[in-house]
Structure 1
Amino acid sequence: MRTMHTSAQLKGWMQAVLAVLLSATLAACGGGGGDNSSSNSGSNAGGNAPVSSGSLPASPTQQPVAATAANTVPITVNSGTSGVVNIPAVSVRICAPGSTTNCQTINNIQLDTGSFGLRVVGSALNPTLLQALTPVTANGSTPLAECATFADGFSWGAVRSATVVMGGETTTRAIPVQIIGDTSAGATPASGCGSGPAENTVSDLGANGILGVGTALTDCGATCSTAKTAATFSNYFQCPGGTSCTRTTVQVAQQVANPVANFATDNNGLIVQMPPLPNTGAPSANGTLVFGIGTQSNNALAASQTFTTDGFGDLNNSTFNGATVQAFLDSGSNGYFFADSTLPACSSDFNGFYCPSTSQTRSVTLVGLNKTTAAVNIGIANAQTLFSNVNNFAFNDLAGQIGGSSSFDLGLPFFYGRHVYYGFDQTTAGGANPFVGF
Structure 2
Amino acid sequence: MRTMQSHIAGKFRGWMQAVVAVALVSVVAACGGGGSSSSNNSSTTLNGGSLPASPTQQPIDPNAAANKANTVPITVGRGVNGVINIPTVSVTVCPPGTTTNCQVINNIQVDTGSFGLRLVSSVVNTASLPISTLTSGAQLGECATFADGYTWGTVRTATVQIGGETTSRAIPIQIIGDPAAGTVPAKGCGSGSAENTVSDLGANGILGIGTALTDCGTTCSTASTANTYSNYFTCSGGTCNRATVPLNQQVANPVANFATDNNGVIVQMPPVPDTGATSATGTLVFGIGTQSNNVPPPTMQTFTTKGNGDLNNSVYNGTTVQAFFDSGSNAYFFADSSLAQCPSNYAGFYCPSSAQTRSITLGGESSTRASVSIGILSASTLFGNSSNYAFNDLAGQIGSSSFDLGLPFFYGRHMYYGFDNGSQAPYVGF
Could you tell me the TM-score, scaled by structure 2's length? 0.91
The offset of 1:12, in angstroms, is: 3.5
AA matched with 2:267: V
Contact 1:185 1:238 in 2 (8 A): no
Partners in 2 of 1:225 and 1:16 — Cα distance? 12
> Could you tell me which residue of structure 1 aligns to residue 133 of structure 2?
137
Partners in 2 of 1:168 and 1:18 — Cα distance? 29
Q: Kindly report which structure 2 residues correspond to 1:374-389, keeping only aligned pairs within 5 A, or say none.
A: 374-389=370-385
Q: Secondary structure at the match of 2:428?
A: strand
Change in Cα spacing, 1:174 to 1:312, as seen in structure 2 (3 Å) is: same
Partners in 1 of 2:397 and 2:77 — Cα distance? 23
> Could you tell me which residue of structure 1 aligns to residue 281 of structure 2?
286
Could you tell me the TM-score, scaled by structure 1's length? 0.89
Partners in 1 of 2:421 and 2:12 — Cα distance? 36
> Could you tell me which residue of structure 1 aligns to residue 312 of structure 2?
316
Contact 1:51 1:280 in 2 (8 A): no
Partners in 2 of 1:13 and 1:273 — Cα distance? 22
Partners in 2 of 1:16 and 1:275 — Cα distance? 30
Q: Does 1:194 align with 2:190?
A: yes
AA matched with 1:158: T
The offset of 1:18, in angstroms, is: 5.9
The offset of 1:192, in angstroms, is: 2.4
> Could you tell me which residue of structure 1 aligns to residue 55 of structure 2?
60
AA matched with 2:186: A
Contact 1:335 1:410 in 2 (8 A): yes
Contact 2:114 2:210 in 1 (8 A): yes
Partners in 1 of 2:315 and 2:328 — Cα distance? 22
AA matched with 2:277: A
> Could you tell me which residue of structure 1 aligns to residue 409 of structure 2?
414
Unaligned runs of 5+ in 2: 22-44
Query: What RMSD in Å do the two structures reach over aligned CA positions?
Result: 1.4
The offset of 1:139, in angstroms, is: 3.8
Q: Does 1:274 align with 2:266?
A: no
* Deviating 4+ runs (over 3 angstroms): 9-19
Per-residue CA deviation, residues 315-370 of structure 1 (Å, 9 max, x unaligned), is 10000000000000000000000000000000121110000000000001001212
Change in Cα spacing, 1:11 to 1:330, as seen in structure 2 (3 Å) is: closer
Q: Does 1:434 align with 2:426?
A: yes
Q: Does 1:8 align with 2:10?
A: yes
Q: Secondary structure at the match of 1:91?
A: strand
Partners in 1 of 2:135 and 2:231 — Cα distance? 15
> Could you tell me which residue of structure 1 aligns to residue 259 of structure 2?
264
Unaligned runs of 5+ in 1: 20-49
Change in Cα spacing, 1:104 to 1:113, as seen in structure 2 (3 Å) is: same
Per-residue CA deviation, residues 159-198 of structure 1 (Å, 9 max, x unaligned), is 0000000111000000000000013133212232122221
AA matched with 1:397: D
Contact 2:356 2:376 in 1 (8 A): yes
AA matched with 1:86: N
AA matched with 2:190: G
Contact 1:89 1:111 in 2 (8 A): yes
Contact 2:15 2:146 in 1 (8 A): yes
> Could you tell me which residue of structure 2 aligns to residue 151 of structure 1?
147
Change in Cα spacing, 1:258 to 1:67, as seen in structure 2 (3 Å) is: same
Q: Percent identity?
A: 69
AA matched with 2:10: A
The offset of 1:17, in angstroms, is: 4.5
Contact 1:51 1:386 in 2 (8 A): no
> Could you tell me which residue of structure 1 aligns to residue 175 of structure 2?
179
Change in Cα spacing, 1:51 to 1:386, as seen in structure 2 (3 Å) is: farther
Partners in 2 of 1:359 and 1:351 — Cα distance? 19
The offset of 1:413, in angstroms, is: 0.3
The offset of 1:51, in angstroms, is: 4.7
AA matched with 1:96: P
Partners in 2 of 1:278 and 1:367 — Cα distance? 29
Q: Secondary structure at the match of 2:321?
A: strand
